[in-house]
Structure 1
């Protein structure tokens, strides 16, 4: 039985540089027009290493001991605690909620583009171009 990469004319046993070296007119470097298409493992490793590093940094931070209050305070109810949040918090929350509601159709368009066959790298590039055009129009 022939494997899927062989049907597509690609072999996975040898590196790309060796496959291109024997072909005339081809450079011996990576010429894949889809650089991130299904090559996400290095990105995942970067994310894992970053996550582990941030866990160590959080563990290294030491907070000072809280000074006990001189006057005892009674426990407040969650609704009362929520109402006591500053106005700046509610303004930021309103802006972020509005941004997410406005950005939702863009996410649906990107999912549709991926369903239509665009590679992951092209979907990211399309989103970047979309945002640049939106900034120029604003």
Structure 2
């Protein structure tokens, strides 16, 4: 029974997260950048009880460590990476974009190492990051 409850919880968590992420992506595609930042803040607070600035101030290693005692650490790290990616895409300043996307790239590498698998979404994000950072990463 407990395993089923945990799977149901994780499924609901991810469904709600992807609904929120969809709102962020749609706002970005419509170039509604104030809405993107508003949705990012709401989503960070709803799922992590922390804001964008909290995670932005952390290194990738600190983000991973932050979730080490969470029942779903890899999923939470991936959720933060997805949100930081969206924040990086719309960053108004090149240095802010570089910092966010570099963090995302490192988090994706961590997730891939844990799962020992390749995600097409992660590969696409990493290709985008390399293009944005001038092929550095």
- Shorter-normalised TM range: under 0.3
Larger Rg: 1
What is the TM-score when the length of structure 1 is the normalising length? 0.19
Q: Which one scores higher on RCO, CA 8 angstroms, separation ≥ 6?
A: 1
